[in-house]
Amino acid sequence: MGNHYIKKISVGLVIFSLFGVNGFYFLLTAQVLSVQNRYLNRVNLPLNFFSENPTYSITLTPEELEVSVSTYDPWIRSACQKHSLDPALVKAVIHAESKFDPLAVSPRGAVGLMQINPTMVRELGIKDPFNPKHNIDGGVRYLKDLMNAFEGDQKLALAAYNAGPSRVYQHNGIPPFKDTKKYIKQVFRFLAYYQKNRTS
Protein backbone atom coordinates (compact mmCIF):
# COMPACT_ATOMS: atom_id res chain seq x y z
CA MET A 1 0.00 0.00 0.00
CA GLY A 2 2.79 2.36 0.91
CA ASN A 3 4.74 1.55 -2.26
CA HIS A 4 1.62 2.12 -4.40
CA TYR A 5 1.11 5.52 -2.75
CA ILE A 6 4.78 6.46 -3.32
CA LYS A 7 4.49 5.45 -7.01
CA LYS A 8 1.45 7.70 -7.42
CA ILE A 9 3.29 10.61 -5.87
CA SER A 10 6.34 9.94 -8.08
CA VAL A 11 4.23 9.81 -11.25
CA GLY A 12 2.43 12.98 -10.17
CA LEU A 13 5.72 14.79 -9.56
CA VAL A 14 7.08 13.72 -12.97
CA ILE A 15 3.92 14.92 -14.73
CA PHE A 16 3.92 18.17 -12.77
CA SER A 17 7.60 18.65 -13.56
CA LEU A 18 7.04 18.07 -17.28
CA PHE A 19 4.08 20.43 -17.42
CA GLY A 20 5.93 22.93 -15.29
CA VAL A 21 9.02 22.97 -17.50
CA ASN A 22 6.98 22.90 -20.71
CA GLY A 23 4.70 25.57 -19.35
CA PHE A 24 7.69 27.73 -18.52
CA TYR A 25 9.11 27.31 -22.02
CA PHE A 26 5.69 27.93 -23.54
CA LEU A 27 5.35 31.19 -21.64
CA LEU A 28 8.92 32.16 -22.49
CA THR A 29 8.35 31.41 -26.19
CA ALA A 30 5.09 33.36 -26.18
CA GLN A 31 6.89 36.29 -24.58
CA VAL A 32 9.67 36.22 -27.17
CA LEU A 33 7.19 35.97 -30.05
CA SER A 34 5.21 38.84 -28.61
CA VAL A 35 8.33 41.01 -28.47
CA GLN A 36 9.29 39.93 -32.01
CA ASN A 37 5.84 40.81 -33.33
CA ARG A 38 5.93 44.22 -31.67
CA TYR A 39 9.37 44.81 -33.16
CA LEU A 40 8.40 43.62 -36.64
CA ASN A 41 5.34 45.86 -36.61
CA ARG A 42 7.65 48.83 -36.11
CA VAL A 43 10.19 47.84 -38.74
CA ASN A 44 9.70 49.32 -42.20
CA LEU A 45 9.93 46.96 -45.11
CA PRO A 46 12.60 48.06 -47.58
CA LEU A 47 11.29 49.31 -50.91
CA ASN A 48 12.72 46.24 -52.67
CA PHE A 49 11.25 43.78 -50.13
CA PHE A 50 8.51 42.50 -52.40
CA SER A 51 10.69 42.14 -55.49
CA GLU A 52 13.21 40.09 -53.51
CA ASN A 53 10.46 38.05 -51.83
CA PRO A 54 8.14 37.01 -54.67
CA THR A 55 5.88 34.96 -52.37
CA TYR A 56 4.66 38.29 -50.96
CA SER A 57 3.77 39.68 -54.38
CA ILE A 58 0.11 40.43 -54.99
CA THR A 59 -1.67 40.39 -58.31
CA LEU A 60 -4.10 43.17 -59.15
CA THR A 61 -7.79 42.66 -59.74
CA PRO A 62 -9.08 42.97 -63.34
CA GLU A 63 -10.51 46.38 -62.45
CA GLU A 64 -7.19 47.55 -61.04
CA LEU A 65 -5.30 46.23 -64.04
CA GLU A 66 -7.69 48.02 -66.38
CA VAL A 67 -6.81 51.47 -65.02
CA SER A 68 -3.08 50.78 -64.68
CA VAL A 69 -1.21 52.37 -67.58
CA SER A 70 2.41 52.88 -68.60
CA THR A 71 1.69 56.21 -70.33
CA TYR A 72 3.41 58.26 -67.63
CA ASP A 73 6.37 55.93 -67.01
CA PRO A 74 9.00 58.16 -68.70
CA TRP A 75 8.02 61.14 -66.50
CA ILE A 76 7.86 58.94 -63.40
CA ARG A 77 11.31 57.55 -64.15
CA SER A 78 12.76 61.00 -64.81
CA ALA A 79 11.33 62.54 -61.62
CA CYS A 80 12.44 59.56 -59.52
CA GLN A 81 15.98 59.70 -60.87
CA LYS A 82 16.09 63.40 -60.03
CA HIS A 83 14.72 62.99 -56.49
CA SER A 84 16.05 59.49 -55.66
CA LEU A 85 12.81 57.59 -55.22
CA ASP A 86 11.71 54.15 -56.38
CA PRO A 87 9.52 54.54 -59.50
CA ALA A 88 7.43 51.57 -58.32
CA LEU A 89 6.53 53.48 -55.15
CA VAL A 90 5.51 56.58 -57.10
CA LYS A 91 3.46 54.51 -59.51
CA ALA A 92 1.76 52.82 -56.54
CA VAL A 93 0.92 56.22 -55.05
CA ILE A 94 -0.51 57.44 -58.36
CA HIS A 95 -2.61 54.29 -58.66
CA ALA A 96 -3.96 54.72 -55.13
CA GLU A 97 -4.48 58.46 -55.46
CA SER A 98 -6.05 58.96 -58.89
CA LYS A 99 -6.18 55.62 -60.70
CA PHE A 100 -3.99 57.27 -63.35
CA ASP A 101 -6.55 59.96 -64.16
CA PRO A 102 -4.63 63.23 -64.81
CA LEU A 103 -7.84 65.24 -64.49
CA ALA A 104 -8.93 63.74 -61.16
CA VAL A 105 -10.18 66.18 -58.50
CA SER A 106 -10.91 65.06 -54.96
CA PRO A 107 -13.75 66.46 -52.80
CA ARG A 108 -11.06 68.41 -50.90
CA GLY A 109 -9.64 69.96 -54.05
CA ALA A 110 -6.56 67.77 -54.53
CA VAL A 111 -5.81 67.51 -58.22
CA GLY A 112 -4.09 65.48 -60.88
CA LEU A 113 -2.30 62.16 -60.96
CA MET A 114 -0.71 62.50 -57.53
CA GLN A 115 -3.66 64.40 -56.02
CA ILE A 116 -1.75 67.44 -54.82
CA ASN A 117 -3.78 69.83 -52.68
CA PRO A 118 -4.01 73.53 -53.61
CA THR A 119 -1.70 74.66 -50.80
CA MET A 120 1.06 72.27 -51.90
CA VAL A 121 0.52 73.23 -55.55
CA ARG A 122 1.42 76.79 -54.59
CA GLU A 123 4.30 75.81 -52.29
CA LEU A 124 5.79 73.49 -54.89
CA GLY A 125 5.41 76.12 -57.59
CA ILE A 126 3.45 73.86 -59.93
CA LYS A 127 2.10 76.04 -62.73
CA ASP A 128 -0.33 73.48 -64.15
CA PRO A 129 -1.16 70.64 -61.73
CA PHE A 130 -3.29 68.95 -64.40
CA ASN A 131 -0.24 68.61 -66.61
CA PRO A 132 0.96 65.03 -65.90
CA LYS A 133 4.64 65.89 -66.16
CA HIS A 134 4.37 68.86 -63.77
CA ASN A 135 2.09 66.98 -61.37
CA ILE A 136 4.41 63.98 -61.19
CA ASP A 137 7.51 66.10 -60.66
CA GLY A 138 5.81 68.10 -57.89
CA GLY A 139 4.32 65.03 -56.24
CA VAL A 140 7.63 63.18 -56.27
CA ARG A 141 9.41 66.19 -54.77
CA TYR A 142 6.80 66.37 -52.02
CA LEU A 143 6.93 62.63 -51.30
CA LYS A 144 10.73 62.78 -51.14
CA ASP A 145 10.51 65.71 -48.68
CA LEU A 146 8.19 63.62 -46.50
CA MET A 147 10.52 60.62 -46.67
CA ASN A 148 13.35 62.87 -45.50
CA ALA A 149 11.21 64.48 -42.79
CA PHE A 150 10.32 61.07 -41.36
CA GLU A 151 13.84 59.67 -41.72
CA GLY A 152 12.97 57.24 -44.51
CA ASP A 153 9.98 55.72 -42.74
CA GLN A 154 7.80 54.74 -45.68
CA LYS A 155 4.62 54.22 -43.67
CA LEU A 156 4.87 57.57 -41.92
CA ALA A 157 5.68 59.34 -45.19
CA LEU A 158 2.64 57.78 -46.85
CA ALA A 159 0.47 58.61 -43.85
CA ALA A 160 1.66 62.21 -44.09
CA TYR A 161 1.00 62.28 -47.83
CA ASN A 162 -2.55 61.10 -47.19
CA ALA A 163 -3.53 62.84 -43.96
CA GLY A 164 -0.96 65.64 -43.72
CA PRO A 165 2.33 65.81 -41.80
CA SER A 166 0.74 67.69 -38.89
CA ARG A 167 -1.59 64.75 -38.21
CA VAL A 168 1.34 62.35 -38.11
CA TYR A 169 3.22 64.60 -35.67
CA GLN A 170 0.06 65.11 -33.63
CA HIS A 171 -0.49 61.37 -33.20
CA ASN A 172 3.22 60.57 -32.97
CA GLY A 173 2.79 57.98 -35.70
CA ILE A 174 0.20 56.81 -38.20
CA PRO A 175 -3.08 58.64 -37.43
CA PRO A 176 -5.92 56.36 -36.29
CA PHE A 177 -7.97 57.06 -39.41
CA LYS A 178 -9.48 54.14 -41.31
CA ASP A 179 -8.95 55.88 -44.65
CA THR A 180 -5.26 56.50 -43.94
CA LYS A 181 -4.62 52.92 -42.79
CA LYS A 182 -6.49 51.59 -45.81
CA TYR A 183 -4.52 53.93 -48.07
CA ILE A 184 -1.15 52.71 -46.76
CA LYS A 185 -2.13 49.06 -47.23
CA GLN A 186 -3.36 49.83 -50.73
CA VAL A 187 -0.13 51.58 -51.70
CA PHE A 188 1.91 48.64 -50.42
CA ARG A 189 -0.27 46.24 -52.44
CA PHE A 190 0.34 48.25 -55.59
CA LEU A 191 4.02 48.61 -54.69
CA ALA A 192 4.33 44.81 -54.54
CA TYR A 193 2.83 44.52 -58.01
CA TYR A 194 4.87 47.29 -59.64
CA GLN A 195 8.13 46.07 -58.14
CA LYS A 196 7.52 42.63 -59.61
CA ASN A 197 6.28 44.01 -62.92
CA ARG A 198 8.58 46.95 -63.46
CA THR A 199 7.97 49.09 -66.52
CA SER A 200 9.38 52.36 -65.10
Residue that wins the pLDDT comparison between 1 and 137? 137
The answer to whether residue 97 is catalytic is yes
Query: CB 169: neighbour CB atoms within 10 A?
Result: 14
Number of structural domains, the chain?
A: 2
State the Cα–Cα distance between residues 129 and 42, nearest whole angstrom.
35
> Based on the domain organization, do 96 and 184 belong to the same domain?
yes
59 and 129 belong to one structural domain: yes
Q: What is the mean pLDDT of residues 175-195?
A: 96
Domain boundaries, position 134:
47-196
Min mean pLDDT across 19-23, 30-34, 75-79, 140-144 is at 30-34
Q: Which of 9, 26, 43 is the last residue of a domain?
A: 43
- Do 38 and 69 lie in a common domain? no
Residue tagged active-site, from 52, 64, 97, 123? 97
- pLDDT computed for residue 123 by the predictor: 96
CATH number (domain holding residue 63) = 1.10.530.10
Whether the CA torsion 108, 111, 114, 117 is positive or negative: it is: negative
- Whether the pLDDT of residue 76 is over 80: the answer is yes
Global pTM? Answer: 0.72
Q: Are residues 62 and 139 in the same domain?
A: yes
Same domain, 86 and 165: yes
